[in-house]
């Protein structure tokens, strides 16, 4: 049987579905300007970083300002080969040479000339992807570019299998460009049976993702592909509201964890992300991708409102089928230090007021404690990639 018949696909009150109308954050009082960031985002970030709320606001301001400067480099003819935030919130930009680094620094950003850089590392990663495409490297949890360490990082759960050994042999050919980290957990799409969910199909449950529209104005739900692998009819409180139309996930095959469902007339998806009792929902203003190291939070049915930072993009992972079926290699994910558990699949990730993606999976058996401050890891499907692939525009608040 296929994965959607074996996993309960989790419910999320995260990007809350409204069967009748879009809901959003309360508007500012007449004559008052809206705050730059909603209190729920500031409070969660402050708790996650262990700083005051004022310091959290300053961190978000600094992050946004640096990312605007980064976006403006191309217009000035300045080449950048990747960028990442440090734990202190400083954005460092990779330059091709010393002259390029000087131009980046004159633009107001920190720069370095790495031994390799993003483009070269992506080529190394592509070669590892090619090995995985021939045979699923069970035991290799994930692999992707880590800009901060200037390596392709390979996380290993077990190197006993033939395919895993072949994968590691290929990785070793690239010398110090590849960093192998052993003792990692096995990964799986995070999904469990949960009666009375917000979104159901054929007796199964799944999280609600983001709402978007095509060029003709037709409305879609954008979610994790493994949630709608079989393109089911989706229900909310027992009433149909959408029908799966496309998914790029198929158990046992090379997959991408994105999918969409057509929203029935009269129904809609809220343009704000729920915070599970931590105040009002956080309005979605756009979907600009946050740089590696940027702060972000996630809302999900199981672990509620948790925060951390963006890891790396274009990560490939091996998801283990916990019911004895074939493993599945999923590409194009982003990693994060946000803690999630089974039941969070499809949950919404947001940085400031910019939607980032939907929960895909994480370590099997991971337990999150400490609420917002929970430490852990997870993988999410970047929203901007899904919107681009399906030709959709995000609905914003």
> What's residue 189's pLDDT?
65
Based on the residue annotation, tell me whether 226 is a catalytic residue of this protein. yes
> What's residue 198's pLDDT?
60
Which of 257, 327, 344, 385 is catalytic? The answer is: 257
> What's residue 190's pLDDT?
60
**DSSP letter string, 289-317:** PPPBT-EEEEEETTTEEEEEEB--SSEEE
Q: Kindly list the distances between the CA atom of residue 41 and the CA atoms of 56, 81, 273, 355, in Å, as whole numbers in the listed order.
A: 9, 30, 10, 12
> What's residue 323's pLDDT?
75
Pairing of strands 354-363, 378-382: antiparallel
> What's residue 16's pLDDT?
28
Give Cβ neighbours of residue 117 (< 8 Å, ≥ 6 apart).
81, 82, 94, 96, 150
pLDDT averaged over 10-residue windows placed end to end, the chain, 397 residues: 30 28 29 70 86 92 94 94 94 96 97 97 97 94 96 95 95 97 80 42 78 94 90 81 94 95 86 82 93 92 89 96 88 96 86 94 90 91 98 95
> What's residue 269's pLDDT?
85
Q: How far apart are CA 58 and CA 229, in angstroms?
A: 42
Q: How far apart are CA 313 and CA 297, in angstroms?
A: 17
> What's residue 227's pLDDT?
86
Which of 287, 345, 374, 378 is catalytic? The answer is: 345
**DSSP letter string, 109-162:** -EEE--SS-HHHHHHHHHHHHHHHHHS--TTEEEEEEETTTTEEEEEES---SH
Residue 230 burial (CB < 10 Å; 0-12/13-18/19+)?
A: middle
> What's residue 30's pLDDT?
37
> What's residue 181's pLDDT?
95
* 283: nearest Cα among 28, 26, 46: 26
> What's residue 196's pLDDT?
26
Q: Are 337 and 311 in contact (CB under 8 A)?
A: yes
Which of 12, 226, 327, 331 is catalytic? The answer is: 226
> What's residue 286's pLDDT?
96
3-state DSSP call for residue 267?
Answer: coil
DSSP letter (8 states) at residue 58:
H
3-state DSSP call for residue 249?
Answer: coil
Q: How far apart are CA 70 and CA 64, in angstroms?
A: 10
Q: How far apart are CA 142 and CA 331, in angstroms?
A: 9
Based on the residue annotation, tell me whether 97 is a catalytic residue of this protein. no
Q: How far apart are CA 346 and CA 367, in angstroms?
A: 18
């Amino acid at each position: 049987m296929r994965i959607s018949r074996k996993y309960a696909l989790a419910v999320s009150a995260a990007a809350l579905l409204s069967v009748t109308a879009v809901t959003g954050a309360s508007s500012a009082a007449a004559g008052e300007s809206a705050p730059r960031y909603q209190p729920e985002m500031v409070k969660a970030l402050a708790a996650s970083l262990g700083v005051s709320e004022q310091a959290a606001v300053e961190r978000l301001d600094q992050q946004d300002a640096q990312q605007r400067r980064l976006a403006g480099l191309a217009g000035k003819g300045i080449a950048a080969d990747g960028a990442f935030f440090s734990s202190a919130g400083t954005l460092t930009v990779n330059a091709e040479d010393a002259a390029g680094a000087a131009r980046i620094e004159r633009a107001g950003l920190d720069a370095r000339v790495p031994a390799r850089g993003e483009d070269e590392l992506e080529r190394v990663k592509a070669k590892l992807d090619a090995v995985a495409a021939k045979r699923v490297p069970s035991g290799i949890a994930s692999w992707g570019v880590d800009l901060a360490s200037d390596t392709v990082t390979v996380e290993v759960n077990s190197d006993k299998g033939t395919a895993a050994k072949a994968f590691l042999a290929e990785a070793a050919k690239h010398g110090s460009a590849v960093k192998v980290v052993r003792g990692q957990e096995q990964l799986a799409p995070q999904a469990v049976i949960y009666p009375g969910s917000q979104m159901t199909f054929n007796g199964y449950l799944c999280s609600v993702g983001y709402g978007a529209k095509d060029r003709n104005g037709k409305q879609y739900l954008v979610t994790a592909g493994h949630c709608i692998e079989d393109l089911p009819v989706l229900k909310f409180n027992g009433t149909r509201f959408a029908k799966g139309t496309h998914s790029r996930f198929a158990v046992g095959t090379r997959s991408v964890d994105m999918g969409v469902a057509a929203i029935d007339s009269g129904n809609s998806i809220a343009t704000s992300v729920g915070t599970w009792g931590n105040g009002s929902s956080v309005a979605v203003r756009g979907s600009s991708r946050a740089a590696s190291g940027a702060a972000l939070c996630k809302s999900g049915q199981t672990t509620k409102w948790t925060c951390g930072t963006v890891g790396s993009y274009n990560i490939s992972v091996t998801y283990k089928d916990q019911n004895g079926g074939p493993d599945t290699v999923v590409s194009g994910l982003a990693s994060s230090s946000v803690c999630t558990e089974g039941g969070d699949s499809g949950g919404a990730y947001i940085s400031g007021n910019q939607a980032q993606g939907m929960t895909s999976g994480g370590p099997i058996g991971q337990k999150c404690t400490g609420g917002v401050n929970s430490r852990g890891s997870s993988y999410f499907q970047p929203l901007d990639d899904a919107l681009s692939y399906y030709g959709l525009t995000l609905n914003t608040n």
